[in-house]
Amino acid sequence: MNLDRTTIALLAERLENCELEARDTTKVTDDYPDMDWEDAYAVQDAIRARKLARGARIVGLKAGLTSRAKMKQMNVEDPVFGFLVDSFAVADGGDIDTKKLIHPKVEPEIAFVTKAALRGPGCHIGAVLAATDFVVPAIEIIDSRYRDFKFDLKSVVADNCSSTRFVTGGTATPVEGLDLRTLGVVLEKNGQPVAIGAGAAVLGHPAAAIAMLANMLGRRGEEIPAGTLILSGGITEAVAVAAGDSVSLRIQSLGSTSVRFV
């Protein structure tokens, strides 16, 4: 770690206030270019602690930047992870108030719900499939707190990987007999298809993103508990949205989910 505890706490406060007040900020690495990975996740942990202290509950985890499309769009090379709290969850078909957001984008994702704990190192696709209760379609709404949605990996990790809202729907589907790699994915905005892909866009197999997450957490001595909802990462580029937009996601065999921006 290169940053002291006071600096970590100040950065967490700055980023979380930007989230809560819907304003942007400059990248944290502009001020602290020596920040390392541990520092970046320490800022994210401090944001989580601030939310928990105010009564928030952790409802899930997310893997991010797990597809080539996302890595290319954001100009980064490695996946990252973040946390989801109860206030991020939006009901299927529900409304999202854009006044509370800075510059939201939507991503089509496959969400996993676990029925057994997953602990790395050594977690692999087979272990993830065996521990999966079901999968569902999920739209993740991301809203980087950084100006113009531009960041480097350490800055985005500190910012809890742009997390802001998510919606799930469709049919809770067990993975037995499903090939998650070949499931077709269509994201529509106002009735027009705006992003099309297949499960394999995420690390060759979406379960690989969950295994990677278990392995990253394992290095911190943590596990993915049973009953965790995990977003496996955007399958396509993220699509910008504004008030008045309706977005729906259909995933082959899993059904659909939708959300409206007001």
Write the binding mask 61 to 100 for ligand OOG: x where contact by CB under 6 A, - elsewhere.
-x-xxx---x---x--------------------------
C-alpha torsion angle, residues 88, 94, 100, 105 (rounded to 10): 80
Euclidean distance between CA atoms 119 and 222, whole angstroms: 7
Measured torsion, CA atoms of residues 17, 20, 25, 30, in degrees rounded to the nearest 10: 50
- Least distance (Å) from Mg ion to the CB of residue 245? 18
Choose one: 7-15, 59-67, 131-139, 213-221; the region binding ligand OOG (CB under 6 A).
59-67
Nearer to ligand OOG, 54 or 101 (CB): 101
What torsion, rounded to 10 degrees, do the Cα atoms 26, 27, 33, 38 define? 140
Contact map string, positions 135 to 154, toward Mg ion, x by CB under 5 A = -----x--------------
Distances (CA, A) of 16 to 25, 55, 197, 204: 11, 15, 33, 33
Distance from the Cα of residue 154 to its chain's centroid: 15
Contact flag: residue 162 with ligand OOG (CB under 6 A): yes
Would you give the DSSP letter of residue 77?
Answer: -
Helix (H, G, I), strand (E, B) or coil at 220: coil
Structure tokens at 118: 């997953």
Judged by CB, which is closer to Mg ion: 32, or 79?
A: 79
Residue from 40, 161, 167, 249 touching ligand OOG (CB under 6 A): that is 161
| 160 belongs to the binding site for ligand OOG (CB under 6 A) | no
Question: Does 208 sit near ligand OOG (CB under 6 A)?
Answer: no
Q: Which does 65 bind (CB under 5 to 8 A by kind): ligand OOG, Mg ion, none?
A: ligand OOG
Contact positions toward Mg ion, by CB under 5 A? 64, 107, 140, 234
